[in-house]
Amino acid sequence: MRLIICLLCAVGTMLAKGQELYTLQSAHLSGVDSGYVYTPKMKPDNRALPVVYVLHSHGANYKSLSRFIDFQALSDQYGFVVVCPDGLRTSWFLDSPQKGGAQFGRFLTGELMPYIQGKYHTDRDNSFITGVSMGGHGALWLFFNYPSFFKSAGSSSGVVNLRHSAFKKTSLAQHLGQYSDQNPLFDRFSVIHNVHKIVGTEKTFIFDCGTEDYLYGANKSLRDSCDVLKIKATYIAQPGAHTSGYWAKTIPVHFAYFNRLIH
């Protein structure tokens, strides 16, 4: 496995805020992934830091969430390293079954996470992942399929059932083939059909969805699946829609949840 570190630089005012830009050439993505890294201003000596990977929504990039979420403040408050990778706009953060498709899970666990651990002295036993919309799907899908890499995960307004996605006939079809009721890949890659993979592991996660969100029904069904499987997930249903304003309120709640799992 090749990992070429093409660029790591502090950028003007970013450095003053503890924010850095990474750029990695990845064999698993057949290209470059860029992202922001936030580190706490007050770093304890000799102690590995917990880390949270935060995944963006469909059509966005690694910069998008930082426009309405203050990750530097969250990093300082909890002492977390915060990593915002780029999902190549429409990768869905999955390991594509298509020949030559992006293998985001392999990139994250085999290339990005080792790089972050080495560069920023992060704690492998206190690694978390969360995201919004497409990124909410990605965070839980990665958590369920690579459970040894994450202590817990979160999802806000996540596309937990790909058959409910507004993009099932466009970007998802590029990864999973033409959409139809008979195409099994839309079930095989849906979070709701992967949650059983953590049964018996004692792992927990947090997810939420606004009651005015078009994905509310799918998230409620995931809650029902957790109940049937006796998975101790935390589910929050509250007023809200599929908007950045909603996510600005919910992602900090995920950080507080992760912090409680450390102590």
Nearest to 22 by CA among 96, 94, 162, 116: 116
Q: pLDDT tens-digit profile of 242-257?
A: 999 999 999 999 999 9
> How far is 92 from 102, CA to CA, in rounded Å?
10
* CA-derived radius of gyration, the chain: 17
pLDDT of 82 above 70: yes
Average pLDDT on 86-111 reads: 95
Spans of all domains in the chain: 3-262
Domain 3-262 class, CATH top level: alpha beta
Q: pLDDT tens-digit profile of 156-187?
A: 999 999 999 999 999 999 999 999 999 999 99
Q: Give the percent of the chain with pLDDT over 90.
A: 89
Taking the whole predicted model, whether its pTM rises above 0.75 is answered as yes
pLDDT of 43 above 90: no
What value, to the nearest 5°, has the Cα angle with vertex 107 and ends 103 and 113? 155
pLDDT of 221 above 70: yes
> How far is 28 from 173, CA to CA, in rounded Å?
20
pLDDT of 1 above 60: no
151 — pLDDT class (breaks 50, 70, 90): very high
pLDDT at 26: 95
What value, to the nearest 5°, has the Cα angle with vertex 175 and ends 172 and 180? 60
Lowest-confidence segment of 18-27, 29-38, 57-66, 133-142 by average pLDDT: 18-27
pLDDT of 15 above 80: no
Cβ-defined contacts of 41-44 (< 8 Å, 24+): 41/76, 42/76, 42/79, 44/79
How much is the mean pLDDT over the chain? 92
pLDDT of 67 above 50: yes
10 — pLDDT class (breaks 50, 70, 90): very low
pLDDT of 119 above 80: yes
pLDDT of 263 above 70: no
Average pLDDT on 100-114 reads: 96
31 — pLDDT class (breaks 50, 70, 90): confident
Query: For residues 153-172, b (16+ Cβ closer than 10 Å) or e, as one string?
Result: bbbbbbbbbbebbebbeebb
pLDDT at 220: 98
Distances (CA, A) of 28 to 4, 83, 105, 149, 233: 12, 19, 9, 18, 31
pLDDT of 206 above 90: yes
